[in-house]
Structure 1
Amino acid sequence: MANKNKRSPFSKALVHVNLSHIPGPRGLLFFNYVKLFQNNILGAFTRVYRDYGHIASFPWPMNSIIIYSPSFAKKVLVESSKNYIKGEQIEELRAVVGNGLATNNDHESWKKSRSIISKVFTKNAVDSFCPKFEQLTLNLFENWLSRFENKTWTTDICEQMKFLTFNIAAQTLLGANLDEKNASIVNKAVHFTSIVTYERIFKFFPLPYWLPTKTHREFHQHFNSMNEIVLNIINDEKNNPSNPDERSILQRLVHAHDEETGHRFSQTELRDEALTLMLAGHETSAHSLTWIIGLLAKNTTVQRRLQQEIDLFDDIKSNEIFEKMTYLQAIIKEGMRLYPAFPVLSRKANGEDQIGDYHIPKNTNVVIPIFVMQRSEEFWDRPLDFDPERFTNGENDRTYKSLPFSRGPRRCVAETFAMVEMSIILFHLFKRYNVELIQKDLPEAVASVSLKPLDGMPVRLTLRS
């Protein structure tokens, strides 16, 4: 599956695109930036914005422009969306996990797939998973109790959230009550897929995919084993259909079809969708939850206000938490403004276009570092402050200043799933515990397949009276 010719972090094109008319680093300064991107990609994107403003070009061999304007982002993601296919980053992801919805660049094929998949991610469909979200969350918290001493316990909340969201993903996305052996296989497969994908996307000179390094060997071993597990789930569902009300996303996709064309997913397409969903739906949610919990631990006033809202809805049903708890919604949105799961979006121009005052040639890679844009004082007052009030009236939801789930036709199809899942977990966590940071500040954010904290997020949990 691997594409062995890919070479750079966010564009790896072999054709030449003339971007000399767009400002950007040239000569020796260009190579200084290359080094900076290798060492600290988020810092590099921040410096590009500081030095060049709303748009900068990195010419051949990268053939890329980097944009930092909400209006430019709207142009690419919405107004001219048909002209922009998924970027080089996604081609790298496709080489690893196949041609799922998130990686498909064939418009007609993608349109059919989107039509089918969107039906299994409706609000009503997501509501059917709420009891499972709640059950698995409460099971974890019950297991925590034996570790408390004097009503407190110190733990890495990032690892705890990864454990929880993996179990949720395995049961709601795959539909598998995995035994310990198979759960370990799937978990390791997702872990090594993340490592390999990161190397292929962000490193200028990644090791060839076929080179038998220890990481590559382990990736292939666990990935192939996970592939077998997924195919077994698909075949079992085809041969012995489960209860429609209890089906996972994958099991529902086995039976789903496009109403206009009658198209159904092939076994290969089902496998690719399952692998993409597991990769996108596990660590991204875990890391988003980790950052939000860390922000609440650091900002105790916001944490107390959230708990006041929680206490008002003590007997709320799990499928009502997301819609009724408006301050919790605002907290999640503000957390994802500061720490978006995917810090960078990318597209590739399928034809010529105009962005602002600049002509955009065909085959130009367009990179949107939303991590930087969402923290810019140009677009936000006190941009580094954690202030959920920004999202309590819905005004900022309608702008393009915050894009954690992207926008336009390619907006994340699982957005509602993720928001509801996080709402239920956070509701029950802060209903039961006060949370404090062990260290004074939040850890450094590191760009991976999703934005993660360097060395985890140690916190102290205290049972609420």
Structure 2
Amino acid sequence: MLKPQFANDNRKSSFKKILSFVKLDHIPGPRGFRYIQSVREFQKNILNAFTQTYLDYGHIASFPWPMNSIIIYSPEYIKKVLVDDNRNYIKGEQIEEIKAVVGNGLATNNDHQSWLKARAAISKQFNKNAVNSFTEEISSIADNFFGEAKNSDLDICEQMKLLTFKIACQVFLGGDLSHKDAMKVNDAVEFTSIVTYERIFKFFPLPYWVPTPTHLEFSQHYKNLIHVVNKLISRSSAKDSSILSKLLFAKDDNGQKAFTEKEARDEILTIMLASHETSAHTLTWFFGLIAKHQDIQERIYQEVLNQDQELNDQNYPELFNALYETMRLYPAFPVLSRKAKKKSVLGDYHIPKNTNVVIPIYVLQRAQEFWERPLEFEPQRFQDRELLKSYKYLPYSRGPRRCVGELFAMTEMAIIIKSLILKFHFNLLDKDLPQDEAFVSLKPKDGLPVKLLLR
């Protein structure tokens, strides 16, 4: 059986978790039987559990061994963790599970010097000029996605997953990817994402070398994924426009190769895993929300109908305000986490070394303490652009490890929105939006059916 990357480290991580103990009794939180109840609530519905913890304990709550974690809901504490003291708060044990798929990519690398080098090189592939070079390609794929347009009832979630995956294959991996290989990549990324997510929330996951049916299937998908990417690497040339090729031939400030083949592979797998379904689910919620709020849909339609300028929030405020508000209510990644390398202080609380720090973005962005009418879809609130800089709004995280692909994601989504809203009018098929569910990214529990009517 082909071992996933860092499979042996995974075994060490499980034992380390069993043996580690962090003293957190000085920080409020559930204890005794209430602790066990809380753990069960997290396993049953993580979003509800995070919300209830906030209501019960306020800005900080602790969960001692075996979780060894604190949960923080204070913008002040969040700024300290993500920005002011970011070198101390590194990616935690959860990254060992992600490393099993992507290796030591940008999202999982805790070595500051090598991370800085990789971040500098990858940022060049996602700056404004680089993103602009992909806009025609993205527009073409979006415009042609529905083929011969017609009235139809469909699950917009499934359609957005197909559309954004098609764009990802073209932009990240290159246009010569066969349909068969594209499906292998799609199946592999989807399956490994689900398994990785499930393992993150297990106290003591079995090592990958234990040949369970899930591990065997994981190994086969991983093997398929590596085979396809390695094949693309062997075909790459400096003339190719894909992100993969650009990473393979990127130079550092000294004119040396920025990445080895393995490092480039790790980075492209990181990008595929991080972007998988996140844009699709954000777009799903966006179209669901404007289908529910017809007045907002009409304002966006009139805005994109009457102009053809660069897609940004200055030229298209109605579109972008609605997108910002969608990401407030439905952040693609509803939870962030870090781990304290050494002891620290948050407010009045001493944070011991090795404490896991959890930031429930979903709860923060819906808390009445920080937002007026927090559960209402009110895009006009983002006329105040200062909200985008606040530490109560974190759809792309904050600080040095803020999402490197933010501009690409926003541009891609804006292009798709403009393309589809010019072609279709959106109506909900059900009375209301479906229940949300945190699973890899924040998705509608049973899809989101809509009626598309040709304009």
Normalised to the residue count of structure 2, the TM-score between the two structures is: 0.95
Separation in 2, partners of 1:427, 1:14? 53
Question: Are residue 295 (structure 1) and residue 289 (structure 2) matched?
Answer: yes
Q: Secondary structure in 2 aligned to 1:184? A: helix
1:305-351 Cα offsets, whole Å, 9 max, x none, are 111111122xx26x546662122111111101111010000011111
Residue identity in the other structure for 1:100: G
Separation in 2, partners of 1:328, 1:278? 26
Q: Name the stretch that deviates more: 48-57 or 279-288.
A: 279-288
Q: Secondary structure in 1 aligned to 2:11? A: coil
Separation in 2, partners of 1:23, 1:260? 51
Separation in 1, partners of 2:28, 2:125? 44
Match of 2:11 in 1: 4
Counterpart selection for 1:51 from 56, 63, 68: 56
Q: Percent identity?
A: 57
1:362-394 Cα offsets, whole Å, 9 max, x none, are 111100000001000000000001111111231
Where does 1:190-339 land on structure 2 (aligned, <5 Å)? Answer: 190-237=189-236, 240-243=237-240, 247-259=241-253, 262=256, 264-313=258-307, 316=308, 320=311, 324-339=315-330
Where does 1:117-128 land on structure 2 (aligned, <5 Å)? Answer: 117-128=122-133
Separation in 1, partners of 2:357, 2:50? 13
Match of 1:384 in 2: 375
Match of 1:160 in 2: 159
Residue identity in the other structure for 1:182: D
Question: Are residue 95 (structure 1) and residue 96 (structure 2) matched?
Answer: no
**Kept after mapping to 2: 8 A contact 1:344/1:370:** yes
Match of 1:372 in 2: 363
Q: Secondary structure in 2 aligned to 1:460? A: strand
**Kept after mapping to 2: 8 A contact 1:311/1:431:** yes
1:136-171 Cα offsets, whole Å, 9 max, x none, are 11111225x2xx3xxx21000010000001110001
Normalised to the residue count of structure 1, the TM-score between the two structures is: 0.93
1:260-314 Cα offsets, whole Å, 9 max, x none, are 584521111111111111111131111111111111111111111111111122x
Question: Are residue 139 (structure 1) and residue 144 (structure 2) matched?
Answer: yes
Residue identity in the other structure for 2:11: K
Number of equivalent positions: 448
Separation in 1, partners of 2:14, 2:378? 40
Please tell me the root mean square deviation across aligned C-alpha atoms, in Å.
1.8
Counterpart selection for 1:75 from 58, 74, 80: 80
Q: Name the stretch that deviates more: 210-219 or 412-421.
A: 210-219
**Kept after mapping to 1: 8 A contact 2:311/2:411:** no
Q: Secondary structure in 2 aligned to 1:443? A: coil
Instruction: List gaps (5 residues or longer) in structure 1.
Output: none
Using a 3 Å threshold, how does the CA distance of structure 1 residues 74 and 321 change in structure 2: closer, same or farther? closer
Separation in 2, partners of 1:325, 1:53? 37
Q: Secondary structure in 2 aligned to 1:408? A: coil
Q: Name the stretch that deviates more: 91-100 or 421-430.
A: 91-100
**Kept after mapping to 2: 8 A contact 1:322/1:420:** no
Match of 1:433 in 2: 424
Separation in 2, partners of 1:104, 1:128? 28
Separation in 2, partners of 1:119, 1:452? 30
Using a 3 Å threshold, how does the CA distance of structure 1 residues 411 and 379 change in structure 2: closer, same or farther? same
Using a 3 Å threshold, how does the CA distance of structure 1 residues 135 and 227 change in structure 2: closer, same or farther? same
**Kept after mapping to 2: 8 A contact 1:6/1:200:** no
**Kept after mapping to 1: 8 A contact 2:103/2:266:** yes
